[in-house]
Structure 1
Amino acid sequence: MIVLNEGLVVLARSLIAFFSLLIFARVIGKQQISELTFFDYVLGITIGSIAASLSVDLSSRAWPHWIGLLTWTATVLILQLITLKSRLATNYLLGEPSVVIMDGQIMEEALRRIRYTASDILEQLRDKGIFDLKQVAFGVIETNGKLSVLLKPEFLPVTPQDMNLPTQPNGLGTELIYDGVIIEENLQKSKVDRKWLRKELNKNNIKHISDVFLAYLDGAGNLYLDLYKDQARRENNAGK
């Protein structure tokens, strides 16, 4: 009889834990279940562990576990809001992408900073079907630990070389404005200045930088503008 009662309690608490997790996961959003960063991974394990204890730990009451779930979920929501508003907080909590391959050469110093080995990089390249390091123009380790690769123009699946067309060197794009704030460091890296940026904004009838959610300059010199009003999104060639 005692075993039956305990079984019913576990069943009830498991259902509570399951639906609590379901609700909290919907509140947190899809970011937690997409490509996980290390930060997301730790949070997921912790919340899952609390839910498991809520299900089967009959030596304690259920409500402290439920409060723990609520606390962790609320913390995740607060941190998400902070990272949406602060680039510095995003870099601190989630990290930044690291360029580990440039023009077919592995950047040893970058590997040491993120504690990767050359074998790790080569393994991820092979996983992408790339067996020749010299084919890679840029390789970037993203915040989720995965390697993103930009091949040299002549090694793209349908290459200008195959069509006897001239090629131009590719480059990495960069954010010039994020959340209405100009990123001075990226302006310098892109070899442009505020005057040039304001001129491009004026071409698109944008009077205030605070109206721009994202301004992104790609490697070909194209400026992508995303305003807070989605219908105002537009793309133009920067013509540097």
Structure 2
Amino acid sequence: MSWLTSSWSDLGITAGKAVLMYATALVGLRLGERRTLAQWTAIDFAAAVAIGAIIGRTAVASTQTYAIGAVALVSLLLLHRLTSLARFQPLFGRLTDHRVRVLVADGHLRRDQLRRCGLTDDDLLAQLRQHGVFDLHTLKYVLYEATGGLTIVPENDQHHASDLVDAGLRSSAGFPIDQAQRQN
């Protein structure tokens, strides 16, 4: 039954390391960018999984010291910060971030883009219903943003040619710029 119970000193050490790792992570994340806790990109998700693994292992593994866990955690947080800054360089940003995808154009589903995003018609339609959209023909565009959110541009929206939507269309993958310009 030794695998089921532990000595009070081992339990105290584990609890102490868990508290220290939690505090280290909290301070590190608080000093980091707010985007770490907002909608995640691939780099954010990878960092979160690795952070969880380091915290968990350091807290419960008897061979793992707090110092080793803290150094690994801080190194990972610094790497995440450097990667976040490198994303401002267009080439690196293309390597780390998903591009905007136009999922609906002029009321028509663009199934090739849905497939590229790993979405089914039903996935998109469920999201549209949750946003209060019940008729595709009332839509000018639906943009699938790099963060995984949807931007819904109604057909009758007087601002559908705004700079923000145009920027999204220009930076999108799989949507010809000349087609976007013709439609506006």
In the superposition, the TM-score normalised over structure 2's length comes to 0.80
**Secondary structure at the residue paired with 1:72?**
helix
**Secondary structure at the residue paired with 2:87?**
helix
Which residue of structure 2 aligns with residue 231 of structure 1? none
Give distance in 2, aligned partners of 1:22 and 1:169. 41
Give distance in 1, aligned partners of 2:105 and 2:133. 15
Larger Rg: 1
Give distance in 2, aligned partners of 1:135 and 1:48. 43
Give distance in 1, aligned partners of 2:179 and 2:59. 53
1:169 CA drift (Å):
7.7
Give distance in 2, aligned partners of 1:133 and 1:190. 18
Q: Which amino acid aligns with 1:108?
A: R
Which residue of structure 2 aligns with residue 126 of structure 1? 129
| 1:21-36 map, 5 Å | 21-36=25-40
**Secondary structure at the residue paired with 1:173?**
helix
Alpha-carbon distance change, 89 to 115 in structure 1, aligned in 2, over 3 angstroms:
same
Count matched residues. 168
Which of residues 138, 162, 166 in structure 2 aligns to 1:173?
A: 166
Higher mean alpha-carbon deviation, 138-147 vs 107-116, is at 107-116
| 1:1-240 map, 5 Å | 3-84=7-88, 86-153=89-156, 170-171=160-161, 172-174=165-167
Alpha-carbon distance change, 129 to 187 in structure 1, aligned in 2, over 3 angstroms:
closer
Give distance in 1, aligned partners of 2:57 and 2:14. 10
Q: Which amino acid aligns with 1:64?
A: I
Q: Which protein has greater RCO, CA pairs closer than 8 Å, 6+ apart?
A: 2
**Secondary structure at the residue paired with 2:69?**
helix
Q: Which amino acid aligns with 1:174?
A: A
1:44 CA drift (Å):
0.7
Give distance in 2, aligned partners of 1:33 and 1:113. 26
Q: Which runs of 5+ in 2 are unaligned?
A: 1-5, 169-175
Q: 1:82, 1:89 within 8 Å by CA — same for their partners in 2?
A: yes
Q: Which amino acid aligns with 2:123?
A: D
1:121 CA drift (Å):
0.9
Name the one with the larger strand percent: 1
Q: Which runs of 5+ in 1 are unaligned?
A: 157-167, 176-185, 192-218, 221-240
CA-to-partner distance for each residue in 1:1-56, whole Å, 9 max, x for gaps?
x6111121012101210111011102221001011123312211211121111111
Q: Percent identity?
A: 18
**Secondary structure at the residue paired with 1:60?**
coil
Give distance in 2, aligned partners of 1:19 and 1:111. 41
1:150 CA drift (Å):
0.8
**Secondary structure at the residue paired with 2:133?**
coil
Give distance in 1, aligned partners of 2:177 and 2:147. 26
CA-to-partner distance for each residue in 1:97-128, whole Å, 9 max, x for gaps?
11110110111222222222111111110111
Give distance in 2, aligned partners of 1:12 and 1:133. 55
Q: 1:38, 1:144 within 8 Å by CA — same for their partners in 2?
A: no
1:188 CA drift (Å):
7.5
Q: 1:121, 1:147 within 8 Å by CA — same for their partners in 2?
A: no
